[in-house]
Amino acid sequence: MSERLQPGDVAPAFTLPDADGTEVSLADHKGRKVIVYFYPAALTPGCTKQACDFTDNLELLAGAGYDVIGISPDKPEKLAKFRDKESLKVTLLADPDKQVLESYGAFGEKKLYGKTVVGVIRSTIVVDEEGKVERALYNVKATGHVAKIIKDLGI
């Protein structure tokens, strides 16, 4: 089982391919705050709602100094389809071997329709300019989550 991150922890470094296969690293965002969110699967209703909410609020978040990165176990080709179909503006990264998901505590046992299953735990980690975890939110809801983050961050 992967350990959940706590505020003050150093955010695990990562380099993953985006929807176009271009490598993106957390280090590329040093000096800016980053909202890293983990979602189970592109092109599914809840994940689409969440990605669209982040896209709709991207300008507001960027204006407050936040970059947004979405990570799922999908392959880059599926992420490209997702981005194009939904006109997404957030950076989507592919983690098919789930190493980054595990290092962030976003993969493991969860309840799904009353059953315990192993999979992606919908999570959002806010990383500060220094690369430290500012907030670590696990088992978040797809709907209404972005509005809650904006409120909690005082944006």
Pairing of strands 123-127, 33-38: antiparallel
Catalytic residue flag (residue 47) = yes
Separation between Cα atoms, residue 121 and residue 111, nearest integer Å: 9
Biggest CA–CA distance in the chain, Å, is: 42
Distances in whole angstroms, Cα of residue 21 to Cα of each of 31, 81, 85: 24, 13, 18
Separation between Cα atoms, residue 68 and residue 61, nearest integer Å: 8
Q: Annotated catalytic residue: which of 5, 47, 68, 93?
A: 47
The number of residues making up the chain comes to 155
Residues with a known catalytic role: 47
